[in-house]
């Protein structure tokens, strides 16, 4: 949900008799003039309102917030600079968090905040977008416009910063789009991939890897033999290849009864494991089972 201001904070602001009422903190506090009036109500001798400019330009905002930061540093007030920067650039949740922190500092009261209205640490609109339907959420370019303000680009014209912020926004948008497609496969006509359709059951924890491979090897040997005999009967080919294959299989099975599987390229059984690429990890097959 979108961030909102507590009712007791709004009543507190009305009691200060500001020149311009704070209706939408995200926009009304962005230039720093209204926030300077809040501090002037508690520190009238230290805040000179004639030094502030009531304008919407970037230079006016930077001037006002620079004076506010100097006063906060001078008085050593416990106000986060991250909230100030987020309010300056008009980011979601910045002005609301700044008002809550200022209210708690000046009145020594803790405002009530609704836990449903979430805020993230980077002051993005991602919590708000997650509460919308998937067809109402912003696309990638709109997300960049909402979360990367023009004033940020002007105050910090670093291409590395811009590319980093854009990459983070696009990665988040891609992750959200993949989650939407996974939760609504029928609408987006998502088809399972070949790997998803060929998944095999994992090896049971109480079974022996070598016994499991022996059973699968026997079934594969029988299937290979039947297919070879059928193709030879149809095409009238010689059965030398199948005979050699059965001979190699019998030798490998006899070797398996006597010793464990070794990672040797001359071992026929080891080649069979590599070629078939079973779901069981090769390390589990090569490990010595503990009795």
| CA dihedral for 234, 237, 243, 246, sign (positive or negative) | negative
Q: When comparing pLDDT for 192 and 13, which is higher?
A: 13
| Structural contact between residues 121 and 127, judged by C-beta atoms closer than 8 angstroms | no
| Structural contact between residues 22 and 28, judged by C-beta atoms closer than 8 angstroms | yes
Banded model confidence at residue 146, pLDDT cuts 50, 70, 90:
confident
| Whole-number pLDDT of residue 158 | 81
**pLDDT exceeds 80 at position 279:** no
**pLDDT exceeds 70 at position 110:** yes
| Whole-number pLDDT of residue 204 | 58
CB-based burial label for 17 (10 Å; 0-12, 13-18, 19+) = exposed
Each residue's pLDDT tens digit, 151-168: 888 888 788 888 888 999
Radius of gyration of the chain (CA): 35
Q: When comparing pLDDT for 31 and 186, which is higher?
A: 31
Task: Report the range of poorest mean pLDDT among 114-118, 166-170, 194-198.
Answer: 114-118
Each residue's pLDDT tens digit, 11-57: 999 899 898 888 888 899 999 999 999 999 999 999 999 999 998 89
What CA–CA distances, in Å, run from 101 to 9, 19, 79, 80, 219? 11, 22, 7, 8, 70
Alpha carbons within 13 A on the beta-carbon side of 134: 13
Q: When comparing pLDDT for 179 and 158, which is higher?
A: 179
Banded model confidence at residue 206, pLDDT cuts 50, 70, 90:
low
Average pLDDT, the chain: 76
| Whole-number pLDDT of residue 194 | 79
Each residue's pLDDT tens digit, 78-105: 999 999 999 999 888 889 889 999 999 9
Banded model confidence at residue 239, pLDDT cuts 50, 70, 90:
very low
| CA distance linking residue 62 with residue 46, whole number of Å | 20
DSSP 8-class letter at 281: -
**pLDDT exceeds 50 at position 291:** no
**pLDDT exceeds 60 at position 281:** no
């Amino acid at each position: 949900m979108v961030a909102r201001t507590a009712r007791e904070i709004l009543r507190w602001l009305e009691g200060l008799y500001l020149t311009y009422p704070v209706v939408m903190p995200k926009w009304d506090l962005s230039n720093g003039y209204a926030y300077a009036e809040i501090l002037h109500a508690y520190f009238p001798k230290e805040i000179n309102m004639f030094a502030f400019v009531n304008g919407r330009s970037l230079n006016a905002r930077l001037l006002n917030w620079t004076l506010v930061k100097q006063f906060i540093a001078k008085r050593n007030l416990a106000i986060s600079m991250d909230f100030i920067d987020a309010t300056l650039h008009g980011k979601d949740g910045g002005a609301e968090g700044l008002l809550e922190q200022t209210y708690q500092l000046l009145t020594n009261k803790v405002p009530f905040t609704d836990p449903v209205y979430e805020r993230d640490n980077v002051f993005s609109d991602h919590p708000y977008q997650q509460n919308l339907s998937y067809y109402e959420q912003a696309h990638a370019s709109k997300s960049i416009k909402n979360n990367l303000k023009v004033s940020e680009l002007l105050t910090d014209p670093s291409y590395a910063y811009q590319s980093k912020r854009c990459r983070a926004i696009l990665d988040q948008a891609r992750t959200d789009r993949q989650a939407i497609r996974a939760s609504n496969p029928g609408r987006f006509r998502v088809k399972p991939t070949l790997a998803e359709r060929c998944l095999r059951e994992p090896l049971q924890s109480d079974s022996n890897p070598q016994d499991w491979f022996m059973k699968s090897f026997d079934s594969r040997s029988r299937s290979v033999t039947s297919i070879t005999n059928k193709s030879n009967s149809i095409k009238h080919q010689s059965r030398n290849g199948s005979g050699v294959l059965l001979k190699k299989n019998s030798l490998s099975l006899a070797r398996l009864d006597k010793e464990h599987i070794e990672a040797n390229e001359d071992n026929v059984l080891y080649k069979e494991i590599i070629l078939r690429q079973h779901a069981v990890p090769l390390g589990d097959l090569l490990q010595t089972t503990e009795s």
